[in-house]
Structures are given as structure tokens and as C-alpha cells.
């Protein structure tokens, strides 16, 4: 964790030297938050949500709408993003928490598409395909350095809290439910409630990431909640090794964006290469990069 914070804490100072730019750091941090929240479901809960981009998008829209219609206070807007993501997640989770496996995955895709459709069609609120433009940053965040520092602070806080969460009794029980739902039920756990909570928290974190995205990008548009976006977070998490490590989504997100910028400089088809990498990982090393880095692969069971 310290290495991660050291890396991102000092990133603006050296990233120019390797031919990249500090804003990339902001993007990566936003996606790491999204990915870590997502991995609470996938890696710890064993619950495949393939429509998670929806909650990222809901957060981004909520940030913009709160700024336009309520009050431009930054904290209020970020709070609105988290709240909207969490409420949307809580509602969806009501309908899916009795399922698991493929049915769970299909339902999350279906719900994800509903959110996307609403974003495109509810023109009077979401401005349709154009989305919300001209979202403003507060004056004290207008330059890139302060934006970076702000995002880093939120990022650090989110990482610490999520780390705490997965190592708490709640996280351990959630992981136990992934390993054996039946047994968890028979030793007295309310499995449904744990799954519901995991989804809600995960969606809330996605909402936070979406809010930060809207702040940084100064816009929110339907594409941020597209199925493709949902696919990216799954890829990052799996490629990075979210199934065996808390840090999987971190590796995956870094690799994803570095691939985008470095490979993208040479070929339009960089995503093809990332996609191929994804397939190779799934076929030959489901534990992902984190699994490669570790000799003794243990699945979420630190002693």
C-alpha cells in the first residue's frame, strides 16, 4: 500500500520524463477506485456484475446534476454521486441477491442496459446522447496540480477504507459465502443480506469513482455507463488478478491505461492487444498478474 501511495503521490514529478502526463494519473486513480470497489463483488463475493459501468455513470451524472440543480459545492456533489450510485445499487441488488453465477451476471447486464437506456432517452434530464457538458470544477481545483492532489487524497482514503473493509469480519464472511454459500447459510449467516450489502457498497464506490470522473473530465455522457465500460472494469480486475489479490485491480488499471497510451501511439488497435492479453490470462492464468507475482497463490485467505 505504501508503495502504491508513493508511486501515485510522486507521479506528477516524474511521469513527464517517461513520455506520459499527469492527467493520466488522475484517470488511473479513478479507475482503480472503481476497480477495487468492483472487486469487492467479483473477487471477494464471487458475484459477477457485468453491468457495473451503470453505477459509475450514475455517479458521474449525479455529480453533474447536483452541481447544476442543487448547489455547486464540491463535497455535496461528490456525496450526491456516492449516494446515487449506492441507492441505484441497493435497488438493483434487491432483485438479484438471491441469485448467483450466470443468472446473476445476466441480470446485472440487463440492469446496466436499463440505466444506459435511461441516460440516452431521458433527454430533459440527461441531455440525451450529448450528456452533461460544462461541469465546472471549483476555482481551487482548476489547475491540474491541485486536481491531482485532490484526487490523490480521495483515492488514498478510498483505498484504505476498502482495504479495511475486506479484512473486517464483513469481508471475511463475504469471502466465505463465495467459497460455500450453502455452508454459510447453515452456520447461521443471512447470505442474502451480505450479498445485497456487498453490491450496494460496490455501487456506492463506483458512484464515487464516477463523480471524480465527472469532476476531472468536466462532463458526463451515456458512454461512461455503456456495456463496454462495464467490460473494461471486468478486464482490468481479472487481468490484474483481482481473484487472488486485493491489489489486482490496481495492476490491471495501470496496465490498461499504459497500454492505451503507449500501444495507442503505435496502433489504433491497442484494445485488440489488451483483449488478447485478457484472453490469455483467462485461459492460462486465471489468477492474473498478481498470481504471476506470487509463488504461493492463495485466494483471499491471508493468515
Partner 1 sequence: MFEATHLHKRFGYHVVLEDVSMSFAQGRLTGIMGPNGAGKTTCFNLLTGRYRPDRGRIRFEGRDITALPPRAIARLGISRSFQVMNLFDDYSALDNVLIATPEVRERGFSVWRRFGGSTDVLESVGLAGKAHVRAKDLSYGDRRALEIGVALAARPRLLFLDEPTAGLGTEATARIARLIAELKRSITIVLIEHDMKFLFGLADHIYVMHWGQVIAQGSPAELRANPWVQRSNLGHAVN
DSSP symbols for 254-295: HHHHHHHHHHHHH-TTHHHHHHHHHHHHHHH-TTHHHHHH-S
Q: Which is nearer to partner 1, 177 or 209 (CB)?
A: 177
Grid coordinates belonging to 291:
498470481
187 is a site residue for partner 1 (CB under 8 A): yes
Interaction mask 132-171, partner 1, x per CB under 8 A: --------------------------------xx-xxxxx
SS3 48: coil
Total of chain residues touching partner 1, rule CB under 8 A: 30
**Smallest separation, CB 216 to partner 1 (Å):** 28
- Rounded Cα distance between 175 and 158, Å, is 20
42 is a site residue for partner 1 (CB under 8 A): no
Q: Which is nearer to partner 1, 66 or 197 (CB)?
A: 197
Q: Which of residues 190-219 bind partner 1 (CB under 8 A)?
A: 190-191, 194, 197
DSSP state letter for 43: I
Residue 134 burial by CB count (10 A; 0-12/13-18/19+): exposed, middle or buried? exposed
Half-sphere exposure of residue 275, counting CA atoms within 13 Å on the CB side?
A: 6
175 is a site residue for partner 1 (CB under 8 A): yes
299 is a site residue for partner 1 (CB under 8 A): yes
How many helices and strands, by DSSP H and E, does the chain display?
A: 15, 0
Residues 6+ positions from 285 with CB-CB distance below 8 Å:
291, 292
**Smallest separation, CB 32 to partner 1 (Å):** 20
188 is a site residue for partner 1 (CB under 8 A): yes
173 is a site residue for partner 1 (CB under 8 A): yes
121 is a site residue for partner 1 (CB under 8 A): no
The contact set with partner 1 (CB under 8 A) reads: 164-165, 167-173, 175-176, 179-180, 182-191, 194, 197, 298-301, 303
Amino acid at each position: 500500500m505504501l508503495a502504491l501511495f508513493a508511486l501515485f503521490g510522486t507521479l506528477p514529478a516524474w511521469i513527464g520524463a517517461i513520455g506520459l502526463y499527469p492527467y493520466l494519473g488522475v484517470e488511473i486513480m479513478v479507475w482503480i477506485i472503481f476497480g477495487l470497489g468492483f472487486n469487492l463483488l467479483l473477487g471477494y463475493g464471487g458475484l459477477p456484475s457485468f453491468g457495473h459501468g451503470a453505477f459509475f455513470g450514475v455517479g458521474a451524472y449525479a455529480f453533474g446534476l447536483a452541481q447544476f440543480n442543487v448547489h455547486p459545492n464540491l463535497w455535496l456533489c461528490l456525496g450526491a454521486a456516492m449516494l446515487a450510485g449506492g441507492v441505484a445499487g441497493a435497488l438493483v441488488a434487491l432483485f438479484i441477491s438471491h441469485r448467483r453465477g450466470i443468472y446473476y451476471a445476466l441480470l446485472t447486464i440487463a440492469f446496466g442496459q436499463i440505466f444506459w437506456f435511461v441516460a440516452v432517452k431521458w433527454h430533459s434530464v440527461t441531455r440525451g446522447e450529448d450528456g452533461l457538458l460544462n461541469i465546472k470544477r471549483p476555482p481551487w481545483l482548476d489547475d491540474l496540480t491541485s486536481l491531482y492532489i485532490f484526487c490523490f487524497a480521495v483515492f488514498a482514503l478510498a483505498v484504505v477504507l476498502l482495504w479495511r473493509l475486506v479484512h473486517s469480519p464483513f469481508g471475511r464472511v463475504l469471502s466465505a459465502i463465495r467459497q460455500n454459500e450453502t455452508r454459510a447459510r447453515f452456520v447461521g449467516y443471512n447470505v442474502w443480506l451480505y450479498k445485497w450489502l456487498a453490491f450496494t457498497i460496490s455501487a456506492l464506490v463506483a458512484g464515487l469513482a464516477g463523480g471524480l470522473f465527472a469532476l476531472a473530465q468536466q462532463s458526463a455522457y451515456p458512454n461512461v455507463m455503456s456495456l463496454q465500460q462495464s467490460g473494461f472494469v471486468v478486464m482490468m480486475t481479472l487481468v490484474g488478478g483481482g481473484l487472488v489479490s486485493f491489489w489486482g485491480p490496481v495492476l490491471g488499471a495501470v496496465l490498461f491505461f499504459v497500454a492505451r497510451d503507449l500501444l495507442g501511439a503505435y496502433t489504433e488497435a491497442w484494445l485488440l492487444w489488451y483483449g488478447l492479453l485478457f484472453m490469455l490470462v483467462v485461459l492460462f492464468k486465471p489468477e492474473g498478474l498478481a498470481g504471476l507475482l506470487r509463488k504461493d497463490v492463495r485466494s483471499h485467505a491471508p493468515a
